[in-house]
Amino acid sequence: MDISNHFPIWNKLTPSQQNSILAASRLHSAQKGTIIHNGSLDCIGVLVIKSGQMRAYSLSDDGREITIYRLFDMDVCLFSASCMMPDVQFDIIVEAEKDCEFWIIPTPVFKSLMDESAAVANFAIQIMASRFSDVMWLMEQIMWKSFDKRLAAFLIEESNIEDSDILKITHEKIGNHLGNPREVVTRMLRYFQSEEMVRLTRGTIEIIDREALEKLSDR
């Protein structure tokens, strides 16, 4: 199992392009909680996820967070190499949300592939379009949807990712995903509990009426 099985357009590369990726990319691992890419402070390269889960988020001047997108097996992250795209004028932080294994293709190597290969450049367009859609969805949520709907959508999404109705996540972490203070999350979760949609225990949130949450989230 090397990067050739995980890089989505491997078959569109020439043998020499494949070799340059094989020669330059290294497999890394990171424990849950590790910051893998830290905005403009580094430009480590393009990430290709082998296993695990990462979270890309934006950080306000006063330390508030909001999750922009998530990365799972075989996903590719370009913004950890954003110095190769001068028009990218924003910072994203990528952290391991679970223990991760991933390859890093160094920025200059990916940049030169993108410059010479229309296939690689179109693949980059595809990734960027997909992340762009995530951000537009998020922005529309924030603009047009109230927090109860966003929180309901988040609980459903988490439950799908974890394949479980019992979520082990703190209210503070949820706040960091959604860009709201912990108190706001706690208050809304208590409201959901009073409506018998969730059951709260120390450290967990159990979904007991998925249908009602889905209806509220209105996705």
Residue among 24, 43, 83, 142 that touches a second copy (CB under 8 A):
142
Residues 6+ apart with CB under 8 A from 151: 174, 178, 185, 188, 189, 192
The burial of 61, by beta-carbon neighbours within 10 Å (0-12 exposed, 13-18 middle, 19 or more buried), is given as exposed
Q: From the CB of 218, what's the least distance to a second copy, in Å?
A: 10
- Please count the residues of this chain forming the interface with a second copy, following the rule CB under 8 A: 39
Does position 128 interact with a second copy (CB under 8 A)? The reply is yes
Stretch that binds a second copy, among 14-22, 127-135, 199-207, 208-216 (CB under 8 A): 127-135
In the DSSP assignment, the letter for residue 106 is -
- Name the amino acid, one letter, at 169: I
Stretch that binds a second copy, among 10-18, 33-41, 125-133, 196-204 (CB under 8 A): 125-133
Greatest Cα pair distance in the chain: 62
Does position 16 interact with a second copy (CB under 8 A)? The reply is no
In the DSSP assignment, the letter for residue 179 is T
- Which spans of this chain sit near a second copy (rule: CB under 8 A)? 58, 60-62, 64, 66, 85, 87-90, 114-118, 120-122, 124-133, 135-140, 142-144, 179
